[in-house]
Structure 1
């Protein structure tokens, strides 16, 4: 079984919210790091999601299903079944380990070379079979040997992109650009056309009617993002503008276009 690594390092990601005078999040401006975090949510196994949000916080019946696996007596679990693989499934390796660490205690698979076996009498071209079971007999009718000669499956080296930046970037999306995130977590590349369309959708007559608030997303907000995204289509409002939330705001980068004053997004909308 492949080894696993556990995500424990704390990090924060910067996110800029654009809020209209009605307290609605028109959109958020984000870089590669936050978009990588959002896309990585799609890789999380269901068991990991339940464990992060706790069984009690799950919507529907999946929490009960998780609890059933926990409580079922060992006598009724097949000896070939690893209960932990259901309760603490591991995320896919490589890409998911290179995104911002905004979810606690998420285990990732560590890829290991796959060991294969071939016939120990494989001198004939007909003995070209391979198996992962060294106790298996060679299926070649002219051969009487067992497949015990060990070989290793080697993955080809990844081809470097023509762009040197592509070869070094990890995660899911390109950096050095700004992305637009809507309240329902629709993610698009920021452009003049998309910005004008959003302003029309929210009936914003003047850009200076919008308030900018810079927030820093850490593990607490990361778990809240995961939870709210399963329950709501107004995720940014629910996570950052809900009265019960307290969000870290960068005072130096937060601006209010109405009067030029700076305000703290702490537990609610601008007062």
Structure 2
């Protein structure tokens, strides 16, 4: 099964190298909201593959390596190490259905979190709202954009790597879209 890729339109201020907002569809917004449904064990499992997760990574590995003879039950350990992953996240991370906990009732979220047929504005800090002409103009005013010549639209594809970066940066930053798609955080950290 091939991993799903989602298209996302970014409005970028070239002079500040920052994403003002992204125009997103249901798939991307469902992915973002599914992050709120992730158990901490799933976050550690996802991020540990490519990134250090501090002490939580050590805690996760300790439980994974602990002998069954020391545990109340193998099922409890398995539930902590392999917690439920929401449908939208499984699709983007190319994870099989088996990763979902069997005792979790996820029927109510199978269709996602937001309705089809609407466009959404996702701010750099991951705030989400319905998009409209008025809301777009309000954002330009908020960021004091006087010259629309400094704005550029860029379409990006969001796949597994970008999803993992969004998850990681969402716990460290308030400029997630800029950090992930423009390398802004990486550039700022190397400047210091």
TM-score where L is the length of structure 2: 0.81
Q: Confirm or deny that 1:205 pairs with 2:133.
A: no
Q: Confirm or deny that 1:11 pairs with 2:4.
A: yes
TM-aligned CA deviation for residue 104 of structure 1: 3.8
Note the alpha carbon deviations across 1:151-174, whole angstroms, 9 max, x for none: xxxxxxx9xxxxxxxxxx921101
1:86/1:39 CA distance change after superposition, 3 Å: same
Q: Report what 1:31 is aligned to.
A: 25
TM-aligned CA deviation for residue 205 of structure 1: 1.2
For residue 139 of structure 2, give the secondary structure of its aligned residue in structure 1.
helix
1:51/1:66 CA distance change after superposition, 3 Å: same
- Aligned partners of 2:79 and 2:41: how far apart in 1? 9
Query: What are the residue-to-residue correspondences of 1:1-271 with 2, within 5 Å?
Result: 9-22=2-15, 23-54=17-48, 57-79=51-73, 81-91=75-85, 96-97=86-87, 101-105=91-95, 107-110=99-102, 170-242=111-183
For residue 172 of structure 2, give the secondary structure of its aligned residue in structure 1.
coil
Larger radius of gyration: 1
- Aligned partners of 1:62 and 1:171: how far apart in 2? 29
* Greater mean alpha carbon deviation, residues 102-111 or residues 28-37: 102-111
TM-score where L is the length of structure 1: 0.59
8 Å Cα contact 1:33/1:100 also seen in 2:
no
TM-aligned CA deviation for residue 97 of structure 1: 2.3
- Aligned partners of 2:65 and 2:89: how far apart in 1? 34
- Aligned partners of 1:230 and 1:180: how far apart in 2? 20
Number of aligned positions between the proteins: 180
- Aligned partners of 2:143 and 2:76: how far apart in 1? 51
Note the alpha carbon deviations across 1:2-55, whole angstroms, 9 max, x for none: xxxxxx541100000111122111111111111011111111221111111117
TM-aligned CA deviation for residue 110 of structure 1: 4.5
* Greater mean alpha carbon deviation, residues 69-78 or residues 35-44: 69-78
TM-aligned CA deviation for residue 57 of structure 1: 2.7
Structure 1 residues not aligned, in runs of 5+: 1-7, 114-157, 159-168, 246-271
8 Å Cα contact 2:10/2:22 also seen in 1:
yes
8 Å Cα contact 1:16/1:212 also seen in 2:
yes
